[in-house]
Amino acid sequence: MKVSVGEVVLPGDFCEEISKLGEKSRVIIGPGLRKEVDGVYATKAGVLKKRDPGTFWIDSYQKRYVPSRGENVIGVVVQKAGDIFRVDVGGSNTAALSYLSFEGATKKNRPDVQIGDVIYAKMLVASKDMEPELVCVDSHGKKGRLGVLADGFVFKCSLNLIRKILSPSCPLLNSLKNEWPFELAAGMNGRIWIKAKTMRETIAVGNAILGAEYLSDKEIKSMCTNIATILAGHIS
């Protein structure tokens, strides 16, 4: 079956629009799509999405994370084996993170990473035939916001909710920032790390994010205002 952007696709559907565009210009295919000899096919059910100029992916509701190259994820260090840290990112296998994958790391200057630490990292290698591999630096060797996430609170949510709150059109994060300050790291593997001034505010941000999954933009703004009013009442 041939499908176009905005339509519901099923595994095995032929994405004619992507295949034709790929013959003329550069195309980037994301999660849910696979390149074959004769074109691009869907590998999971969902809605075919596009971001200009040529990035395509399938938006679907799922809880199990399938590693995808270039995505930022939140993981937990579960094992240290020689020079490699094993990180749980919610996939079928743990991901490998070398101690040299941190800014300024050398054999003498090793990063202070312990078992149980929460890591914000980028997926460097993601293939069904290879072990997932993480890095905590960008292409310039700088850590940016990547690395160990100290303190804060981590919770899980659906992958669909992560994509929703990170969308430029979603008013949730801007509405929350207007009410009180907080730090947030969102992993494409369905994990969110939050750090606010108090535990009450941290929990309020977490509840607001979880509650926004099935709300419209207007309902999200109203919810954030109500939460801020309730918090202000408790503080006063």
Cα distance between residue 133 and residue 120, in whole Å: 13
Cα distance between residue 89 and residue 132, in whole Å: 10
CB within 8 Å of 228: residues ≥ 6 apart? 179, 180
8-59 adopts what CATH topology? OB fold (Dihydrolipoamide Acetyltransferase, E2P) (2.40.50)
Would you give per-residue pLDDT tens digits along the chain (236 residues)?
667 777 888 888 888 778 777 667 788 887 788 888 888 888 888 888 887 777 888 877 766 788 888 889 999 999 988 889 999 998 888 899 998 888 887 777 888 888 999 999 999 887 777 888 999 888 777 888 898 898 889 999 888 888 888 888 888 888 888 778 889 999 999 899 999 888 888 888 888 899 888 888 888 888 888 887 876 665 54
Q: Structure pTM? A: 0.76
CB within 8 Å of 135: residues ≥ 6 apart? 97, 98, 101, 121, 122, 124, 146
Length of the chain equals 236
Return the pLDDT at 18: 80
Element (H, E) at 51: strand 46-51
One fold for 8-59 and 72-148: yes
User: Where along the chain do its domains lie?
Assistant: 8-59, 72-148, 153-235
Return the pLDDT at 1: 60
Token pair of 210 as six digits: 């979880």
Return the pLDDT at 102: 87
Token pair of 96 as six digits: 């490998």
The CATH superfamily holding the domain 153-235 is: K Homology domain, type 1 (3.30.1370.10)
Considering the domain 72-148 in this protein, what is its CATH number?
2.40.50.140
Return the pLDDT at 236: 45
